[in-house]
Amino acid sequence: MSTPQLQTLMRETLAGAMQGMGLDADSLWRGYVAVGGSELPRVVDDLLAGRQTLEPNEYDFLAQAINDHAVSLGQRSVVPYFHQLGGD
């Protein structure tokens, strides 16, 4: 899979999970920081919007934040991690 395709897949995966759980960007950012993410909220917005390249480690922090949110709601983890998407 090419890098642009993988970027699109990562963004669509995160956006779909956020929408499905009603998770807003601010709540996602707080969860992202709680699991080790270090970018500012506006950078995370840019990553999700495709204005910046989404690196595998940042994707995994965002995925972990969404998965933690799902578990807190009594749901299963819903977002695959980078290596599960076919990334190296």
Could you list the pLDDT tens digit for every one of the 88 residues in the chain? 458 999 999 999 999 999 999 999 999 999 999 999 999 999 999 999 989 999 999 999 999 999 999 999 999 988 999 999 987 7
Contact 69, 3 (CB under 8 A): no
Q: Please state the pTM of the whole predicted model.
A: 0.93
Both structure tokens of 70: 């799902």
pLDDT of the residue at 1: 46
Q: Nearest Cα to 20, choosing from 75, 59, 86, 61?
A: 75
Both structure tokens of 31: 């969860």
**Residue 87 C-beta-side C-alpha neighbours within 13 Å:** 20
Listed in order, strand segments (DSSP E) in 1-88 are none
3-class secondary-structure state, position 39: coil
